[in-house]
Amino acid sequence: MLTIRDLSKTYANGVTALRNVSLNVPTGMFGLLGPNGAGKSTLMRTIATLQDPDSGSIRLGEIDVLADKDAARRQLGYLPQEFGVYPKEPAITMLDHFAVLKGIVDAKQRRDVVEALLKQVNLWEVRGHKLGGFSGGMRQRFGIAQALLGDPKLIIVDEPTAGLDPEERNRFLNLLAEIGENVVVILSTHIVEDVTDLCQNMTIISRGEVLLSGQPHEALASLDGRVWRKQVVKAELAQLQTLHTVLSSRLIAGQPVIHVLADSSPGAGFEAIAPNLEDVYFGKLRAQAAQAA
């Protein structure tokens, strides 16, 4: 269990990135969902011991992460949003180098670990290829291989599917799901579908604040019977947005289709629909914006 209590961080330029964030993160896939600039990367870097908060605490099991960073790092695997590689190095050479840095000094043990990880992430057949020639998805899978060195108990992946094509995205998410069966995996993303597909537990964060934390099915149950859909003409859209809580608007065949949050039918032409996690997400963001206004 990763336990975060009252974590706050304000940068020197006055931007408050985290506001009293408290989370319980159990074993398995945990989705950290929020828009760009929500504070997700700040939270990830803080958990990964790359920066200090202004206040609060983080514990990984019995380890006080902020007080004993070396112990925390031995239990941590981290794939940041921007993961650089040496483009002229073969994958197997680079992963062997990372293994040395992780403290695996015995040559045979290191060789066995590197081989097993490259097979696990389905890169063994291209182990001799230079990293600069890898596709985006292959680089992300190599990043997961290096994050798995040392048998970590906590793995953090920050916006891992951004820019991947659908096939690579599915392959990468399937790999994460397998890893998440045995360790804590925090998936930080702004892509709602990633969390819907993978995560047993989740939180929504925006403007540094936790807006919701729990299981996706519980969040969906809170909107049962309260989400309505209607296809409208473009000229109506602005007025409807002033009259109703419009969760989302999407063009389908050239016409806007809106989802509205309401306890009863918003009017003629609206049909009740089963909510999805995107409705939950936008509902929380709209509520926060309304409160701040």
Taking the C-alpha atoms of residue 206 and residue 203, their distance in angstroms, rounded to an integer, is 10
Mean pLDDT computed over 107-130? 93
pLDDT exceeds 80 at position 293: no
Task: Tell me the average pLDDT of the chain.
Answer: 90
Give the confidence band of 196 by pLDDT, cuts at 50, 70, 90: confident
Give the confidence band of 282 by pLDDT, cuts at 50, 70, 90: very high
pLDDT exceeds 90 at position 234: no
- Let me know if 74 is exposed, middle or buried by CB neighbors in 10 A (0-12, 13-18, 19+): middle
Mean pLDDT computed over 215-228? 92
**pLDDT value, residue 94:** 93
Compare 142 and 196 and report the one with higher pLDDT.
142
pLDDT exceeds 90 at position 262: yes
Give the confidence band of 172 by pLDDT, cuts at 50, 70, 90: confident
pLDDT exceeds 90 at position 264: yes
Phi/psi-derived region of residue 204, left when phi > 0, alpha when psi is between -120 and 50, beta in every other case: beta
**Contact present, 34 and 19 (Cβ < 8 Å):** no
Q: What percent of the chain has pLDDT over 70?
A: 99
CA-based angle 111:112:118, to the nearest 5?
Answer: 90
- Looking at domain 2-214, its CATH architecture is 3-Layer(aba) Sandwich (3.40)
β-pairing verdict for 76-79 and 154-158: parallel
Domain extents in the chain: 2-214, 221-292
Give the confidence band of 55 by pLDDT, cuts at 50, 70, 90: very high
Q: What percent of the chain has pLDDT over 90?
A: 57
Give the confidence band of 8 by pLDDT, cuts at 50, 70, 90: very high
Mean pLDDT computed over 18-25? 95
pLDDT exceeds 80 at position 82: no
Taking the C-alpha atoms of residue 71 and residue 275, their distance in angstroms, rounded to an integer, is 43
Structure tokens given for 108 = 């045979």
Compare 195 and 64 and report the one with higher pLDDT.
64
**pLDDT value, residue 162:** 76
Give the confidence band of 192 by pLDDT, cuts at 50, 70, 90: confident
pLDDT exceeds 90 at position 182: no
Cα torsion at 190, 170, 141, 160 (round to 10°)?
0
Helix then strand count (H, E) for the chain reads 10, 14
The SS3 call for residue 193 is helix
Mean pLDDT computed over 61-68? 94
Give the confidence band of 164 by pLDDT, cuts at 50, 70, 90: confident
